[in-house]
Amino acid sequence: MTIRVLTGITTTGTPHLGNYAGAIRPAVRASEQPGVDAFFFLADYHALIKCDDPARVARSRLEIAATWLAAGLDPQRVTFYRQSDIPETTELCWFLTCVTAKGLMNRAHAYKASVDQNEAKGVDPDDGVTMGLFSYPVLMAADILLFNAHKVPVGRDQVQHLEMARDIAQRFNHLYQGDFFVLPEVQIEEDVATLPGLDGRKMSKSYNNTIPLFEGGAKALRGAISRIVTDSLQPGQPKDADASHLFTLYRAFAQPDEVAAFRRDLESGMGWGDAKQALGDRLERDIAPMRETYNELMANPGRIEDILQAGASKARKLASPLMERVRDAVGLRTLGAASAGAKAGGKKAAAKAARFVSFRDEDGSFRFRLLAADGQELLLSESHANPKDAGQLMRRLQDEDVELREQDGQVHVILQGAVVARGVSEAGRIRQALESLRQE
């Protein structure tokens, strides 16, 4: 089975060591595995959420493209493109927006963080919050679902967005009764998904604590390493390797035997100055060859543009057929097709007794409804912490005989002695609806 892997980097700045170790390197490695169909993109639409400096966005697009290519990305083997070169992305984003609950967006970490900061300042909770920031997860879902990616390598701070993409995909699939979208899975390298910066916090441009990857050459790399914060232990005093973010950085790039030796040196009293020198030497071994390729690409932006345009053409050949299906599903057909579809749809609606519709409740739990053909709610499921559990229960109700028990004006659906759903309709109508689903 071919596994489709997709990832991207927002074009708001110059790539740093954390971008490389946390996203670029694992994604490039994944693209080299047999049976992997890899997609990589420059997330320049996302950049507009965070940055209103056009020159910075334009420069970042060039630098990030050059970085990925220098890091070993093979444009002949993968699909490499700019987000803004794929108009189907924004079209799909709107379709997904129309089925996404506002309550789901209210729980997004980035939005909640902005609200918390505003409340701490004593200003309006939504002060400075744009719709771009608020609906960011929907655009991210469109990036992923447009190409039906199976796995998405991300940092831990993006895991929630992957979960939201799954929720949105599942809702669309159920609402329009089709397998339009694959439910993507997150992929994280446990040891290096988030690298510490100079001050020990997550390496981020927001904290101004990054270590440059290529910018400024070897001198800038070593200069940043020299500013890594350490404790006050002197040479000769044993160091706690696991408590040192300098050691964490070294471990992210070195081989196991090198890591073991470096740990022994620290525990034996290696001075922090020597440790920083060792880290710089180890990083330079990997980075120097890539830096040379990067500088050549930066001097020839036309070559990068040709690669990106070829990638966009390749990507759109896959995106266009999916969007035709999606447009048809939501009713945006040509007039001739719409007329034929209305007739066919009428017959289908008459034959179809019911459908399941899943959703995420305000408390974050997962539930589903059984709806009649006319849209009347027949059943409402109990809450589930995991969307897979809700999905499995829907399949069981469709495949297995269940007990329907009328009690206190409700119909209780009993499965293995437990109430799994409740309804206010007649038991006979619910049973007829379930039986019609089993016959599809």
Closest to 38 in 3D by CA, of 142, 138, 143, 152: 152
Answer yes or no: do 117 and 169 share one domain: yes
Domain contains 370 = yes
| pLDDT by 10s per residue, the chain, length 440 | 688 989 888 898 888 998 898 878 887 888 888 999 999 999 999 999 988 899 999 999 999 999 999 999 999 999 999 999 999 999 999 999 999 999 999 999 889 999 999 999 999 999 999 999 999 999 999 999 999 999 887 767 788 999 999 999 999 999 998 889 999 998 876 655 579 999 999 898 788 999 999 999 999 999 999 999 999 999 999 999 999 999 999 999 999 999 999 999 999 999 999 999 999 999 999 999 999 999 999 999 999 999 999 999 999 999 999 999 999 999 998 776 555 555 544 434 333 457 888 877 767 788 888 887 766 778 889 999 888 888 888 888 888 888 888 877 788 899 888 899 988 767 778 888 888 787 65
Instruction: Check the annotation: does 135 bind a ligand.
Output: no
Answer yes or no: do 386 and 364 share one domain: yes
Q: In this structure, which amino acid lies at residue 321?
A: P
Instruction: Check the annotation: does 19 bind a ligand.
Output: yes
Instruction: Check the annotation: does 12 bind a ligand.
Output: yes
Work out the end-to-end distance of the chain between its first and last CA atoms, rounded to an integer number of angstroms: 28
Instruction: Check the annotation: does 388 bind a ligand.
Output: no
Instruction: Check the annotation: does 11 bind a ligand.
Output: yes
Answer yes or no: do 306 and 263 share one domain: no
Instruction: Check the annotation: does 18 bind a ligand.
Output: yes
Answer yes or no: do 90 and 179 share one domain: yes
Tokens representing 413 are 């659906």
Answer yes or no: do 27 and 146 share one domain: yes
Answer yes or no: do 94 and 210 share one domain: no
Q: Strand pairing partners for 381?
A: 421
Instruction: Check the annotation: does 205 bind a ligand.
Output: yes
Instruction: Check the annotation: does 67 bind a ligand.
Output: no
Domain contains 330 = no
In the three-class reduction of DSSP (H, G, I as helix; E, B as strand; rest coil), residue 295 is classed as helix
**What are the start-end ranges of the H helices in 146-237?**
159-175, 217-226
Quote the CA–CA distance of 370 and 354 in Å, as a whole number: 7
Domain contains 340 = no
- The total number of structural domains that make up the chain: 3
What is the maximum span of the chain, computed from C-alpha positions, in angstroms? 84
Answer yes or no: do 216 and 170 share one domain: no
pLDDT of residue 346: 44
Answer yes or no: do 176 and 85 share one domain: yes
Instruction: Check the annotation: does 195 bind a ligand.
Output: yes
Q: Cα dihedral sign for 173, 178, 180, 186?
A: positive
Domain contains 346 = no
pLDDT of residue 417: 85
Instruction: Check the annotation: does 155 bind a ligand.
Output: yes
Answer yes or no: do 161 and 310 share one domain: yes
pLDDT of residue 350: 36
Domain contains 199 = no
Instruction: Check the annotation: does 157 bind a ligand.
Output: yes
Q: How far is CA 250 from CA 64, 92, 151, 173, 253, in A?
A: 23, 42, 27, 45, 6
Answer yes or no: do 382 and 308 share one domain: no
Q: Which residues contact 311 (CB under 8 A, 6 or more apart)?
A: 75, 79, 80, 81
Contact 311, 79 (CB under 8 A): yes
Exposed, middle or buried by CB within 10 Å (0-12, 13-18, 19+), for 98? exposed
Question: Which domain CATH number covers 252?
Answer: 1.10.240.10
Q: What is the pTM of this model?
A: 0.70
Question: Which domain CATH number covers 15?
Answer: 3.40.50.620
Tokens representing 217 are 């050459």
Domain residues for the domain of 268 are 205-233+242-286
Domain contains 390 = yes
Answer yes or no: do 373 and 428 share one domain: yes
Quote the CA–CA distance of 291 and 289 in Å, as a whole number: 5
Question: Which domain CATH number covers 382?
Answer: 2.30.29.80
Domain contains 119 = yes
Answer yes or no: do 315 and 365 share one domain: no
